[in-house]
Amino acid sequence: MAAFLGGFLWDALTIGQRVRELDLWRLSGFLLGAAGLVIWLAWRERRKAVAPPAGEGWHGRLVDLRWQAPYLLLQFFFGGIFSALFILYFKSSGHLGTWLTAALLGVLLVANEFVGKRYGERFTLMWALFALNAVLLFNFALPHVIGSLHPRWFYVSTAAGIGLTHVLWQLAPGRPGRILPAWAISALLVLAWGFDMIAPVPLVKQDLAVGHGLEQVQGRYALHVERVPSWQFWRDQAATVHVTEGERLYGISAVFAPKGVTAGLEHRWEIREAGGWRPVYRNRFQSTGGRERGFRGYSWVQSPRPGDWRFIVATQDGRTIAILPLVVVRGVAPPAEQLRREF
């Protein structure tokens, strides 16, 4: 348990806000190690090797550890990848659908701690987990390496992940287990992509705000936002925004992308009406990666009418990065209730 929590805490502190090439090499090494172990376990299964009888003393324990070592190491590799992917996808999640996908990775991360000894007994499970690790890792790494977030790279990386898994299954002695569940997982990921349930990695939302009087001074943006009540400690600004007739309401976002990655982003302003959410304004722009505090973009709506609104930051191909819901009311917020924030 200490190793599990320590490893997860280390990943949480070192991965996500700044994705380093070393992180990608480390995770690729884990995937390569897992591939080698799966082939080794298939070879051992083909030889019909059986676990040695339980012995006594240190010698018996060492013999048992030698038999269990491949399972423990495979558990370590899968756990390392799941831990990193959970953090990466969680930090890139901005709405319920992507949070659910990240939560599933968290569940698998914990489940991996309990099923490690069964990997050798259930090769179908191993192929399925390997395919999931490979596809999600390639979904993250390929856009990072190429420097583009075009949708085609999601499909290419998904095909590469399941293709690698299928090739390993064909190379495995005796081809133990079934490969169809691995293909089913890949199909589910493509389906989840279509429903905007896959976070737009490697993009990470750094900041998001809606307020008044946008200023640009010496390369910094400043915005006056309304203070959040002290008991709403989880919010960065009040849910209700006061706007006078004819006033502009500004929205600003900061989205981190690794250096060398460019992405087409957009701001969308929507208002709730009887039939659901109606688009009011869309502003598209190109972002460039490398800035630690995120690439900044801003937009505004002129004299928004009172009601329920939401300010959305997304990629231009429709993947949601973050959503900020707000309620617009007519009026002026007292100066004491406003806070100046810089971006």
- pLDDT at position 105: 84
For 14, phi then psi, to 5°, come to -110, -15
**69 Rama sector, left if φ>0, alpha if ψ -120 to 50, beta otherwise:** alpha
Instruction: Provide the pLDDT for residue 187.
Output: 96
Identify the sign of the CA torsion 194, 196, 197, 203.
Answer: positive
**pLDDT attached to residue 262:** 86
Q: How high is the pLDDT of residue 214?
A: 93
Rounded Cα distance between 4 and 116, Å, is: 13
Q: Measure the CA–CA gap between 81 and 79, rounded to whole angstroms.
A: 5
- Asked whether the CA dihedral 316, 319, 322, 323 is positive or negative, the reply is positive
Q: What is the pLDDT of residue 52?
A: 66
Tell me the per-residue pLDDT of 262-282, one tens digit each, with 9 for 90 and over.
Answer: 889 999 999 999 989 999 999
The structural domains of the chain, with segments of one domain joined by +, span 2-194, 204-342
Encode pLDDT of 32-67 as tens digits: 999 999 999 899 888 876 666 766 666 666 766 677
Tell me the pLDDT tens digit for each residue of 10-22.
666 666 555 667 7
Domain 204-342 listed as CATH 3.30.420.40? no
Non-local (6+) Cβ contacts of 293 within 8 A are 206, 207, 254, 256, 343
Q: Which of 181, 248, 180 is nearest to 210 (CA)?
A: 248
**How far apart (Å, rounded) are the C-alpha atoms in residues 193 and 271?**
25
Q: Contact 199/89 with Cβ under 8 angstroms?
A: yes
Does the pLDDT value for residue 124 go beyond 60? yes
pLDDT digits 0-9 by tens, 78-110: 888 888 888 888 888 888 889 898 888 888 877
Predicted model pTM: 0.80
